[in-house]
Copies of this chain bind each other. A is one copy, B any other.
Amino acid sequence: MDADSLWQDLQTIRETQPLVHNIANYVTMNFAANALLALGASPVMAHASGEVAAMVELADALVINIGTLDDPWLAAMEQAMQTARQLGKPIALDPVGAGATPYRTLAVRRLLSTAKPAVIRGNASEILAVAAEASHTRGVDSTQAPETAIAAAQRLCQMLGSTVAITGAVDYILQGDRLTTGKNGHPLMTKVTGMGCISTALIGAFLAIQPDAPLRAATHAVSLVGIAGEIAAENACGPGSLQSHFLDTLYAMTGDLIAQRLKLSELA
């Protein structure tokens, strides 16, 4: 994975406009739809029990984001993931706030027992919570160091076979024995709600065109969000203008910008 492969996949998305089905959260749904459009993909948001299966059938990838979940939405997420598993469609899972409440922990357990996501993306606390849950233990601490999150992510990879992306000041993307690190991004991005959700939504778009290469898809998506975010932040006056610059930058992204900016290394 390098600037060439990222640029190539971005061009494929722009040409094929894959349909990405999102069952996401109320807070960032608009931003996620606009980010997918700016990327070149086709977003669809649908959660009714009467149509999620049919929508997954139409879609090229499924993105599940538990940000504002409740029981009916959780049931829809399970139904969608079950359909995706049966049809072999790739799933990106965003376990927003995992570990914060027992309800979220249980929700993630139910989702992981329904279907194996191709990619799970979260911050360190969330990945720690998901990994602890997957091994049926308790006691997640969001203050633990990133190193601990890497170990947890590796455990998660081994147990589920999923690619795991830990995003933050440095991004770690793991699959099997492989570990890539990305260093794109800007601190101001943490002051805009949903930047993590956008990463997961874009992972869905990259999975749609590379369903058999989840490490590649996750690495490309996370890096692209970082590059667009840092360019946008450098031109923004604050978090309000960052959001609109981010969409403009993503839409206008070129191979040259990617080549100049990409900070990616494969550690293992």
Q: Which A residues have a C-beta under 8 Å from some C-beta of B?
A: 25-31, 33-34, 37-38, 43-51, 54-55, 58, 67-72, 97, 100-104, 106, 190-194, 236-241, 243-252
CB distance from A240 to the nearest CB of B (A): 3
**Residue from B31, B50, B190, B237 within 8 A of A30 (CB atoms):** B31
Task: Give A44 to B97 CA distance when docked, in angstroms.
Answer: 9
Residues of chain B lying within 8 A (CB to CB) of residue A31: 30
Q: Would A28 and B30 count as touching, CB distance under 8 A?
A: yes
Q: Would A241 and B237 count as touching, CB distance under 8 A?
A: no
Q: Would A239 and B248 count as touching, CB distance under 8 A?
A: yes
Best-buried of A46, A104, A190 by chain B (most CB within 10 Å): A46
Task: Give A133 to B56 CA distance when docked, in angstroms.
Answer: 22
If A26-B45, A45-B26 touch, does A34 touch B101 (CB 8 Å cutoff)?
Answer: no
Task: Give A243 to B34 CA distance when docked, in angstroms.
Answer: 10
Tell me how many chains of this kind the complex includes.
3
**Residue from B45, B69, B249 within 8 A of A238 (CB atoms):** B249
Task: Give A37 to B238 CA distance when docked, in angstroms.
Answer: 11
Q: Would B67 and A45 count as touching, CB distance under 8 A?
A: yes
Residues of chain B lying within 8 A (CB to CB) of residue A49: 70-71
Residues of chain B lying within 8 A (CB to CB) of residue A34: 192-193, 239-240, 243
Q: Would B240 and A102 count as touching, CB distance under 8 A?
A: no
Q: Would B243 and A244 count as touching, CB distance under 8 A?
A: yes
**Residue from B51, B104, B244 within 8 A of A51 (CB atoms):** B104
Q: Jot down 11 A-B pairs with beta carbons below 8 A, ordered by A.
A: A27-B30, A43-B193, A44-B100, A48-B69, A51-B103, A54-B101, A55-B101, A58-B101, A237-B252, A239-B248, A239-B251
Residues of chain B lying within 8 A (CB to CB) of residue A100: 44, 54-55, 58
CB distance from A202 to the nearest CB of B (A): 15
Task: Give A47 to B101 CA distance when docked, in angstroms.
Answer: 12
Task: Give A27 to B44 CA distance when docked, in angstroms.
Answer: 10
**Residue from B28, B38, B97 within 8 A of A239 (CB atoms):** B38
Residues of chain B lying within 8 A (CB to CB) of residue A71: 48-50
Chain B residue with minimal CB distance to A40? B191
If A33-B193, A50-B71, A191-B251 touch, does A38 touch B240 (CB 8 Å cutoff)?
Answer: yes
Task: Give A104 to B102 CA distance when docked, in angstroms.
Answer: 32
Task: Give A33 to B96 CA distance when docked, in angstroms.
Answer: 15
**Residue from B38, B51, B101, B241 within 8 A of A46 (CB atoms):** B101
Q: Would A68 and B97 count as touching, CB distance under 8 A?
A: no
Task: Give A33 to B239 CA distance when docked, in angstroms.
Answer: 12
Task: Give A55 to B55 CA distance when docked, in angstroms.
Answer: 32
